[in-house]
Amino acid sequence: MQEKVSSIRAEKVSVEFPGVKALSNVDFFLETGEIRAVVGANGAGKSTLMKVFAGVNVGYTGQLYVDEQPVEIRSPLSAKKHGIEIVYQEVDMALFPDATVTENIMMNKMLSGMQGKITVNWKQFNEEAQTLLDELSIPISAKAKVGALSLAQKQMVLIAKSVRIGCRFLVLDEPTAPLSVSETEDLFNIVRNMMKKYDMSIVFITHRLQEVLQICNTVTVMRNGEIVTTIPVTPELTQKHIVDLMLGRSFEENFPKAEQHPGEIQFEVNDIADMEGKVNGVSLYVRKGEIIGIAGLVGAGKTELCKLIFGALKRSRGTIKLNGKSLKIKIPQHSVENRIGMVPEERRKEGVMVDEPVYFNLSAASLLRFCNRIRFVKKKAEMQNAVTFIQNLGIKTPSEKQYVRYLSGGNQQKVVIGKWLSADCDVYIFDEPTKGIDVGAKREIFTLIQDIAKAGKSVIYATCETTEILTITDRVYVMYDGRVTKELVTSETNESEIMFYSTGTGGN
């Protein structure tokens, strides 16, 4: 077990990558007993700063302190020694799926305790792990296989593991982005509990500002690699104030929804279902120039529905029609050939080529447009397209030639969105397009989606954010448990009606 550290500090810390000043002269101080939010636009430097403390950005300049003693943190191991841990969004990467919760939590102890011994006292280990889970109010059995847990539960296992190894400063980088409302509540309870019981400090990076007000004691606002301010979260603090600090200007919250005049039906889905019963007989249609919403809670089947329509999931029944013509969509390629595009939810895994440059990703869905007759890619047009989308979406990158791997999380998302926006499709499917995207960029994305609709395209917009459904769509299909429970006209409905049907209360 490491020393009981009670404060960490950065003084004039800078991080530079080729062509990017990711952090400039940042001063940051954090004591245990606090839940600290770190907010800022995509690319502001939130993850970079926390990765300095976590020993991942080893090339930083400036001085770090632990308990006011100068230290060097040049490896994850040295961060751990000072009690600093980071949990990334890709929790899967940090766990062994085939091992049990106990094995994952107790890994370090097992390894160190094995010296000279050949057996492990499983009973004792299981008990110890279970006690820890109970203390943290984590409702998981220590004997469960990690691979069988939900994403939210996996996060909890990682949190328990960090407590187990004596973590004092736990960084959670956008932990709630993939969680449902109730999972988020559970996470917050655990975090609060943990902070008090173990006198820790939690750094909480998020784009959902309402969560900042809900759970954090203080909030650090970052902009362009600098810290703008750190302020206490008081009842008077508003989301708007935080946004204004983030963007450095006053932000107009209300999005002006353009009036749409949808034409005839362009796209139709009839009674489709997947092989596993995640989508169970969904029918919908979209007119030309119309934006339809797919509402519903996390797990309602929205993502599966999108994938099913796009051909990324196998259909067990149902038909898909574009302009009255039946389509045989078996794989995504068929959709693309029929000018149907999709921005998937799991963008890093499914939507983006991280080892390719930004310009290449931005034209990947529309390469034919940039080819001349003998199919040489017209570089100039391709670059011009990239520059346009980098501007329109505010993608933060030193150049269109930067590899996507080096963009911040949110900027990678924007690249995928740009890829499909430039593809000139007839039907666009967006699955949680604003996940991990900052408020300013969200607005840009809404504008671009609205422009697509204005040009007579059909848009399917799936999200669990009811406010987004109300902001951008014309009509809504509410899903619950793989079915559509209600179809609503957006201008005639409200948040509570959508919630009502999302919980399956009022099924047809």
Interface with ligand ATP (CB under 6 A): 17, 20, 22, 40, 42-48, 396, 406-411
Closest alpha carbon to 356 in 409, 302, 289, 407: 407
Distance, in Å, from the CA atom of 283 to the CA atom of 477, rounded to the nearest integer, reads 9
Max distance between CA atoms of the chain, in angstroms, equals 76
CA dihedral 237, 242, 248, 251 (to 10 degrees): -90
Choice between 382 and 438, CB closer to Mg ion: 438
Nearest distance in Å: CB 114, ligand ATP: 36
DSSP reduced 3-state for 405 = helix
Binding-site partner at residue 450 among Mg ion, ligand ATP, none, CB < 5 to 8 Å by type: none
Q: Say how far residue 236 (Cα) sits from the centre of its chain.
A: 28
Helices (H) and strands (E) in the chain, counts: 17, 20
Binding-site partner at residue 48 among ligand ATP, Mg ion, none, CB < 5 to 8 Å by type: ligand ATP
Considering the rule CB under 5 A, would residue 411 count as an interface residue with Mg ion?
no
Choice between 42 and 338, CB closer to ligand ATP: 42
Distance, in Å, from the CA atom of 379 to the CA atom of 371, rounded to the nearest integer, reads 9
Choice between 130 and 408, CB closer to Mg ion: 408
Considering the rule CB under 5 A, would residue 40 count as an interface residue with Mg ion?
no
Choice between 18 and 116, CB closer to ligand ATP: 18
Region near Mg ion per CB under 5 A, out of 43-51, 181-189, 399-407, 462-470: 43-51
Nearest distance in Å: CB 22, ligand ATP: 3
Amino acid at 491: S
Binding-site partner at residue 361 among Mg ion, ligand ATP, none, CB < 5 to 8 Å by type: none
Binding-site partner at residue 407 among ligand ATP, Mg ion, none, CB < 5 to 8 Å by type: ligand ATP
Judged on CB neighbours under 10 Å (0-12, 13-18, 19+), 372 is exposed
Residues in contact with Mg ion, counted by CB under 5 A, come to a total of 3
Q: Phi and psi at residue 368, in whole multiples of 5°?
A: -55, -35
DSSP reduced 3-state for 113 = helix
Choice between 47 and 266, CB closer to Mg ion: 47
Choice between 408 and 473, CB closer to Mg ion: 408
Distance, in Å, from the CA atom of 22 to the CA atom of 354, rounded to the nearest integer, reads 19
DSSP string, 346-360: SHHHHT--TTSBHHH
Residue 169 is inside which H or E element, if any? strand 169-173
Considering the rule CB under 5 A, would residue 412 count as an interface residue with Mg ion?
no
Strand segments (E) across 18-149: 20-31, 34-40, 61-66, 69-71, 84-87
Exactly one of 409, 418, 433, 482 binds Mg ion (CB under 5 A); that residue is 409
Q: In this structure, what DSSP letter does residue 256 have?
A: -
* Length reported for the chain: 508
Nearest distance in Å: CB 46, Mg ion: 5
Give the footprint of Mg ion on residues 313-372 (CB under 5 A).
none
Nearest distance in Å: CB 408, Mg ion: 5
Considering the rule CB under 5 A, would residue 47 count as an interface residue with Mg ion?
yes
Considering the rule CB under 5 A, would residue 458 count as an interface residue with Mg ion?
no
- Cβ neighbours around 507 below 10 Å, total: 13
Q: What x-and-dash track marks residues 379-408 binding Mg ion by CB under 5 A? A: -----------------------------x
Strand segments (E) across 378-474: 427-431, 458-462
Q: Which letter, b or e, does each residue of 212-248 get, where b requires 16 or more Cβ atoms within 10 Å of its Cβ?
A: bbebbeebbbbbbbbbbebeebeeebeeeebbebbbe
Choice between 303 and 402, CB closer to ligand ATP: 402
Choice between 132 and 439, CB closer to ligand ATP: 439
Choice between 307 and 347, CB closer to Mg ion: 347
Nearest distance in Å: CB 403, ligand ATP: 8
Beta bridge partners of residue 341, listed in sequence order: 428
Amino acid at 88: Y
Binding-site partner at residue 40 among Mg ion, ligand ATP, none, CB < 5 to 8 Å by type: ligand ATP
Distance, in Å, from the CA atom of 180 to the CA atom of 503, rounded to the nearest integer, reads 12
Question: And the tokens for 128?
Answer: 């110890």
Choice between 105 and 441, CB closer to ligand ATP: 441
Choice between 343 and 425, CB closer to ligand ATP: 343
Nearest distance in Å: CB 326, ligand ATP: 41
Binding-site partner at residue 463 among Mg ion, ligand ATP, none, CB < 5 to 8 Å by type: none
Binding-site partner at residue 311 among ligand ATP, Mg ion, none, CB < 5 to 8 Å by type: none
- Closest residue to Mg ion, Cβ-based? 47
Region near Mg ion per CB under 5 A, out of 114-122, 321-329, 373-381, 409-417: 409-417
Considering the rule CB under 5 A, would residue 57 count as an interface residue with Mg ion?
no
Choice between 360 and 501, CB closer to ligand ATP: 360
Considering the rule CB under 5 A, would residue 48 count as an interface residue with Mg ion?
no
- Closest residue to ligand ATP, Cβ-based? 410
Nearest distance in Å: CB 180, ligand ATP: 21
Nearest distance in Å: CB 28, ligand ATP: 13
Closest alpha carbon to 170 in 2, 9, 35, 44: 35
DSSP reduced 3-state for 490 = helix
Closest alpha carbon to 477 in 295, 227, 266: 295
Q: Which residues bind Mg ion (CB under 5 A)?
A: 47, 408-409
